Copies of this chain bind each other. A is one copy, B any other.
């Protein structure tokens, strides 16, 4: 059964224009059953009452809450890549794997100083539906590195970086199951020494994601995969 997204099912028993068009493409008819999620753990069985390109309506027949709720939380923070497709790809894959929050920061070495998150939000919605999940990850607006680093409230904080010489703990060994994690991913061109210093000062532990030199988006997805695997 196809899954649709409506963030406010309680008060809005209709599909968004985008999902309404999708319902038409699928040749759904009044009386057909669909599933709708609100992206905050709600899963609703619903029966279509009217099909329209702008506003397809439904009646909820059954509701479930907190579907697939997890006892850990993953936040990945990265600088947007120069080639935006790489960031978009990361968002799709991270949502499929399971992520709670994706945050973007500006770093000294990152070339991209502006980021439109509308399209990333759409990709996240689509990946959530595709992977049959019912929590939509938060996608933050691009912010200053310092502002972000200071604001993190998750329990376990990591900065993924491969320093010359020293070998920090791999993430799989450093992290424990059932916690909330924030992982800062090194930007293209890497962190500066003062950015790393700031992260350490604010309690971020240096960790590695592998023995090879990973692109930003690959490292970001590796962190997400490892933290999920740790919690299965």
B131 touches A214 (CB 8 A): yes
Among residues of B, the one whose C-beta sits closest to the C-beta of A96 is B218
B172 touches A232 (CB 8 A): yes
The 8 Å CB contact of A132, one of B130, B170, B212, B229, is B212
Nearest CB in chain B: distance from A136 CB, A: 13
B131 touches A97 (CB 8 A): no
**A197, CB-defined interface residue at 8 Å:** no
**A208, CB-defined interface residue at 8 Å:** yes
How far, in whole Å, are A232 and B168 apart by their CA atoms in the complex?
11
Binary B-proximity of A195-208 (CB < 8 A = 1, otherwise 0): 00000000000001
Nearest CB in chain B: distance from A209 CB, A: 8
Contacts of A172 in B (CB 8 A): 229-230, 232
How far, in whole Å, are A230 and B218 apart by their CA atoms in the complex?
17
B97 touches A210 (CB 8 A): yes
A213 touches B98 (CB 8 A): no
A76-100 interface (Cβ within 8 A of B): 89, 93, 96-98
The 8 Å CB contact of A171, one of B93, B171, B229, is B229
A97 touches B229 (CB 8 A): no
Contacts of A210 in B (CB 8 A): 97-98, 228-229, 232
> Which of A96, A130, A208 has the most chain B CB within a 10 Å cutoff?
A96
A interface list, Cβ under 8 A from B: 68, 89, 93, 96-98, 130-133, 170-173, 208, 210-215, 218, 221-222, 225-226, 228-230, 232
Contacts A97-B210, A229-B229 known; 4 new A-B pairs at CB < 8 A? A96-B213, A97-B212, A208-B232, A225-B225
